[in-house]
Each structure stands twice: as structure tokens, then as C-alpha cells.
Structure 1
Amino acid sequence: MRAIAFFAVMSVVPFIASQSQAQDAAAGEKVFAKCKVCHVADQDKNKVGPSLNGVIGRTAGTHPGFSYSQAMVAAGKSGVKWDEPTLKTYLHDPKAMVKGTKMAFVGLKQDEDIANVIAYLKQFSK
């Protein structure tokens, strides 16, 4: 019985730990430097990639004036919205989440970097 309780608790701990990861917008701004080649977050301006100003809550593939891949438009039509869990998955491996995306970036591998970039983007998504 103790073994079952132990394994039950241990299976929940990683989930709680990953959910409570601190987000640091200043650190996220530094990580976002990798994204600035193609994206802007502090202005509503498209570059090689769409503006990320107001991205939190936006339906995928819908920012005005940007020519998205058919795959990204289809993702939006299927219900993909850019919230924290979706961004976490996408930023980890964009091509795995949206097969056929035009985004060439391979993704961020550190969960802390992803959390911090999301905190940075939140500042511009109010």
C-alpha cells in the first residue's frame, strides 16, 4: 500500500514542478533575441514572421497582413490558439506541432527558456 501511495505522489510531483516554473520576462527578452531576426513583439509589425504583439489568445495563422503557410492556417482553423500550453509545445519543436510550417527555427530545448519567452510575450498581449 505504501508503494502505491509513493508512486502516486511521485507521478504528480513532476507535473506540479513543471506547472510552477517561474517565469522571468527580462530573461525571456534575452532569449527572444534569437527570435528578433524574424519577429517583433513590442510592435504590431510583420517581418519575415508575423508580429507577436498580442499573440497570447490569438488563433494560429490569423495575424492580418501576414502570408502564413497552409499548415498554419489549417492549424488555426482546427482550433489552435496561442495560449501558454500551446506556445510551450510549439516553441519546443515548431515543425513537430505544425507540420509544414514556414518557421525554420528548430525550437527552444530548455523549459526555462520557453517559460521566460512566454513571460516576455505576455507583456505585449494584454
Structure 2
Amino acid sequence: MSTSPPTGEAVDEVSILLTTVPGAGETQNTKAVVSTGPGAACASVCASVCDDQHHRKLAICSIVCGISCIGIKALINSVKAERAADLESAKTFSKQAKKFGIISIVVWVSVLALTPVLLVLVSYLLTLLD
């Protein structure tokens, strides 16, 4: 189902007609725009991550790949941002969720990086005492 681009021109997007499955409830045919340029993979990843306006995915990643207690605080703020009644408080909670998510991951990476350094330092100090 691939169409070859005309010679001499670069094709960045291709329109593909999507048909519905019988019994799915919709009778219309819809069009999807598929990006085929060199940055297509990066654009699709960014589109799935960047549309998270309350930073829920960052909060979940900070629980798994960071200090989990700070990540839980990020997740709580993300949920509060989603359920906030006014726009200003939603922005505030969203910024806090992003801040706590980044702090959680940075602290965890720092701990992982500093552990071998501290072990070398302690080993060096113990050899000086002997």
C-alpha cells in the first residue's frame, strides 16, 4: 500500500483512505495523514508524548525510574491539574507535576552516578588510614 514519490520530489506526507470494519457502527470513510519524511518517527513519538498537557506520563515515569515518593507527589499534582475547575489552578498543578517529575528523575540519576564516586572516595580514605 505504499506509493512511490515522483522522481525529483520529496514526499513528506501521504493520504491513505481508511475503510471501516463491517459492524463497527460507522459508515463513513475517513482519511489519515501519514508522515513519511526523515523525521517521521521522531514526530510520532513527540506527538504521543507532547500531547500530555498535565504531565501524567512524566509523573508515572518518575515513579518507576526515579525516587518514587517524589513521583507520587507529581502524579497527585497531575490528577489535580486534570480535575481542576479553573484554568489558572490547572496550570499551577501542571507546572508542579512537571517540576516534581523532573526532580524525581534527576535525584535518582544523581544517586546512581554518585554511588561509585563515593565508594572510590571511601576506599581511598580507608587506604590512607592503613
Q: TM-score normalised to the size of structure 1?
A: 0.26
Q: Indicate the structure whose relative CO is greater, using CA pairs within 8 Å and at least 6 residues apart.
A: 1
Q: TM-score normalised to the size of structure 2?
A: 0.26
More strand by share: 2
